[in-house]
Amino acid sequence: MSDEEEIILSELPDDELVLQMHDDLYDGLKEEIEEGTNILLERGWQPYDILTKALVEGMRIVGEDFRDGILFVPEVLLSANAMKGGMAILRPLLAETGAPKQGKMVIGTVKGDIHDIGKNLVGMMMEGAGFDVVDIGINNPVENYLEAMEEHEPDIVGMSALLTTTMPYMKVVIDTMIEKGIRDDYTVLVGGAPLNEEFGEAVGADAYCRDAAVAVETAKDFMARKHNQRASA
Ligand code: B1M
């Protein structure tokens, strides 16, 4: 910064700090995002509020300018990297809620798609809610999901897709599960920005989850139903 005064993040009031973090995320400034995250934590903010109000909202703004051709892939990669810096600080805090064990989830982004921030966030929130989470990463062909189901025996299979070109692959995974006669052994939840409820139904998922919080609530509902079914069997 040359002719402007340097901004001291710790001197900003909360609302201005959050806006500054949106700017810093936009500019891909990882260290600043980490610092801002730590400052808000020190001020008593809940990890979930920092996640949604500072980080996810910042990424929403990045997404708009990416869509409009104002930001390009290299810049958005830096923003994603900065966001991951903040998420790494929040992750253990979200996970240590002491919530009772709920069940197990395998989650991954589908073939052809390398977006992982939303998936990671869902994984973090699920851990915080008491689920064991096995994250199989990005760009997963159906074989990876099948292997993970066999190896980890999850209650829930989660799929993420951020591209209109990759979201149909969810149906490939679900149809393969049907072919193999294992579809009903798992609850299948799907999510990602371009999806909606109708799409979730059309591909044969158990539910579409708008965001990470909805994913947690939906997963808990399905686990409760599963336990009730077992109890009444
Ligand atoms: Co990409 N990208 N991108 N991108 N990118 C989008 C998705 C896009 C909408 C941007 C835009 O044009 N506005 C657009 C897709 C358009 C379309 O398909 N119609 C797009 C494009 C076009 C592309 C490329 C093709 C660009 C190019 O190369 N020309 C390319 C594709 C690469 C590939 O995958 N093959 C590409 C690349 C990239 C980067 C690598 C630069 C980077 C990804 C970095 C990373 O993830 N490590 C990137 C990013 C960051 C974005 C945007 C800006 C932000 C995505 C994000 O992280 N959001 C995105 C714009 C947008 O989404 N508005 C965009 C924050 C995150 C918290 O939200 O992922 O929606 P989200 O997750 C939410 C919910 O959706 C839900 O919960 C999460 C938390 O609340 N959820 C689930 C998600 N997954 C779930 C799974 C569940 C449940 C809920 O399972 C149970």
Atom 69 of ligand 1, nearest CA residue: 118
Residue by residue, pLDDT tens for the chain (233 residues) are 444 678 999 999 999 999 999 999 999 999 999 999 999 999 999 999 999 999 999 999 999 999 999 999 999 999 999 999 999 999 999 887 777 888 999 999 999 999 999 999 999 999 989 999 999 999 999 999 999 999 999 999 999 999 999 999 999 999 999 999 999 999 999 999 999 999 999 999 999 999 999 999 999 999 999 888 877 77
Angle at 59 between CA 58 and CA 62, to 5 degrees: 95
Protein residue whose Cα sits closest to atom 57 of ligand 1:
117
Nearest CA to ligand 1 atom 30: 73
Report if pTM > 0.85: yes
Where does ligand 1 bind, in terms of residues with CB under 6 Å? 56, 59, 62-63, 66-67, 73, 76-77, 80, 107, 112-119, 121-122, 158-160, 162-164, 189-194, 209, 211-212, 215
**Rounded distance, CA 188 to CA 183, Å?**
8
Convert the pLDDT of each residue in 80-138 to its tens digit.
999 999 999 999 998 877 778 889 999 999 999 999 999 999 999 999 899 999 999 99
Helix (H, G, I), strand (E, B) or coil at 4: coil
DSSP state of 13: -
